[in-house]
A = this chain, B = another copy of it.
């Protein structure tokens, strides 16, 4: 994949700095994007005017040389790592090793991302390297606009997501109901059981998984509760799945809400309001519109229906208590943001649109699709029906 590093080089020129240095856990998204490489242990990526340079352990050297898109790959041993660690301990030895690597590439001054380890930043400063923090997140900003290839990766993850959602929905549809509890093969159907079946479906499609949410009743009124225990008839069941393709490392993201059996009127009303808010937000999406305006479109519908939002009451604990959406790519939450602080959308942004309504006394309702922003609107990457009553969709 070709990536455009010119914004990084402009930043270096503005700051009069020699390089952009990332030093994070091996699966950091910025680093993976810059290097085309990932590893179980920390490594370092340096972008200079001349090219992209990696510093890795001997263990990673062969794979980094083969797989990464760096112009040069060095290993710790090239800079006397073991001697430095023996003399100065692992922490300072590592910092001195990085300082030598920087020196080797003529980088006496570097810009680092917000999340760069403070210990390494201060340690490099002690070694005479000038370190300033990139508060704007230039790599995140580049990553926010997805190439066709990256859109394809997200789309693939979303395909796996749809298959997993179908497994979950079919379990709900096929469950027996006894005394208000859902049963599957004679046992209560729990959040945990549905989660396991979702995750197995994802594994079989080459995806890893993070924290799948299958939450019912009051659990679902907390948008971050992952849910536990038996699922109940008549209650809203929120299913939020965000798989990561193991090969490409890009995420998908989708939420549906189901009610098995008779939903009470208030749940049904909320479902309708959330669906309207979802549609209003979606229809407002296009390049040039701000994320804040999309969020406002969702808030308008929800407030008009008589519910609180964080816009109408910043301390609200019920109603619409999160933002309308976020970017999705190598991270599950990345730029842009569909929230009061959300800036202008650009063609190629991949975003969720996911309004919801929450109240412990009623439960939670959330509906979420994943779309690509285009010049004239959006392209929906999600092909999955929205319906409150679960149906058997297993293929």
Please list the residues of chain A having a beta carbon within 8 angstroms of any beta carbon in chain B. Answer: 39-41, 58-63, 77, 82, 85-86, 89-92, 112-123, 131, 133-136, 192, 196, 199-200, 203-204, 206, 208-211, 222-225, 310, 314-315, 317, 321-322, 332-333, 337, 340-341
Contact = CB atoms under 8 A, between A and B. Distances in A.
Contact of A120 (B114, B206, B315, B341): B114
Contact of A121 (B118, B208, B223, B310): B118
Contact of A135 (B91, B115, B341): B91
A223 B63 CA distance: 10
A196 B122 CA distance: 43
* Copies of this chain, count: 2
Given A314-B77, A341-B85, A59 B321 contact: yes
A377 to B, nearest CB: 26
Contact of A59 (B82, B86, B89, B223): B223
A314 B85 CA distance: 13
Contacts of A114: 91, 117-120
A90 B341 contact: yes
Given A62-B317, A200-B200, 17 more contacts: A39-B224, A40-B333, A58-B310, A59-B321, A82-B314, A89-B341, A90-B341, A112-B118, A114-B119, A114-B120, A115-B118, A115-B119, A118-B120, A121-B121, A196-B204, A200-B203, A208-B209
Contact of A118 (B85, B131, B209): B131
Contacts of A58: 310, 315, 317, 321
Contacts of A341: 85-86, 89-90
